[in-house]
Amino acid sequence: MDLIRHLRFFVSVADEGHFGRAAAALDMTQPPLSQGLRRLEQHLGVELIHRTRHGAMLTSAGVQLLPRARLLVDDTERLLAESQRIADAGGAVHWGATAALPVRVVTACVSALRTVVGAGAVVSTTAGATVDLISDVRAGLCDLAVIEHPALVDGIEAGPVVKIPRWLVVPSDHRGAVAERPTFPMLAGLTFAHPTRAANPPAFDTVVDLLRERGLDTQTIAACDDRAMLAAVAAGTSFGLTATPPTVTPGVTWLRMAPQAVALRVRVIRRPSADAAADAVDRVLYRDRQQ
């Protein structure tokens, strides 16, 4: 029997609570659905659905087996989607980069990946939060990704941690911007513009703890990327961190403070089939660390 197909029948009936509605959702008629579910029950040796005059109810066995059935059905759908993506993509590489990665590094990674996949192949880039990129690699939506460290990457192949230079940015009219030896406590009164904790809880907690260790306990406001962060800084109410080197920006001043402590820590995570692409990106990150 087609186990996955019949498990899909079971999940649909459980979701709809009715054979007729489940059949409509599966774009089929009710008799083969009901027959298929009975064959599944016979195959498993348990009754999954209690049939009533008003609909369908899960039995005790059905309640216990539904989560596993749903997982198998969902994984099958994901497998089919991934196989289609591979078939459509040919030699393409799909990769992701944390929003904290500076543009110069992102473009260098794309150039390096093009040499791996060869002329004419496509390199597609997704920028986003670390937790989302990890999920995309797990799901096969990305072949590899550069994420912030620390992060929860259990079960995913990960490369070495690389430090990329990062600067503090403050409002140009703030006293810290003109101080001969600026300190972290000078930033008291400014909010910290930074991606939310949900974007990567371990990295968020690490940077907040670092500021507290340096004598600064401040409120955090959400800034999903450098553009949002710099806008908040230019408004005179916030400070932030950026891996983009100092540039002439109205209302904003770059400060070099505790460079080793505030450095951006990143690493490459990958699917098993993306070793060559991951190695190419690792080399880019290592070169940028040297600059």
Give the pLDDT band (50/70/90) at residue 1. Answer: low
pLDDT value for 78 = 80
Cβ neighbors of 236 (< 8 A, separation 6 or more) are 171, 173, 174, 251
Give the pLDDT band (50/70/90) at residue 87. Answer: low
Rounded Cα distance between 149 and 231, Å, is 25
Question: In whole numbers, what is the pLDDT of the chain averaged over residues?
Answer: 91
For the chain, how many helices (H) and strands (E)? 11, 13
pLDDT value for 76 = 86
pLDDT value for 55 = 80
More confident residue, 33 or 216: 216
- Integer angstrom CA distances of residue 47 from 30, 60, 62, 127, 253: 18, 9, 7, 47, 69
| Percent of the chain scoring above 70 in pLDDT | 95
pLDDT single digits (tens) 196-238:
999 999 999 999 999 999 999 999 999 999 999 999 999 999 9
Rounded Cα distance between 259 and 154, Å, is 29
Rounded Cα distance between 212 and 214, Å, is 5
pLDDT single digits (tens) 164-207:
999 999 999 999 999 999 999 999 999 999 999 999 999 999 99
- Integer angstrom CA distances of residue 48 from 14, 59, 71: 9, 5, 16
pTM of structure: 0.69
Residue 51 has pLDDT above 90, yes or no: no
pLDDT value for 89 = 52
Give the pLDDT band (50/70/90) at residue 151. Answer: very high
DSSP letters, 235-254, are TTSEEEEESSPP---TTEEE
What sign does the dihedral 221-224-226-228 (CA atoms) show? negative
What domains sit in the chain, N to C, each tagged with a CATH number? 3-87 (1.10.10.10), 91-162+265-290 (3.40.190.10), 166-261 (3.40.190.10)
* DSSP assignment letter at 88: H
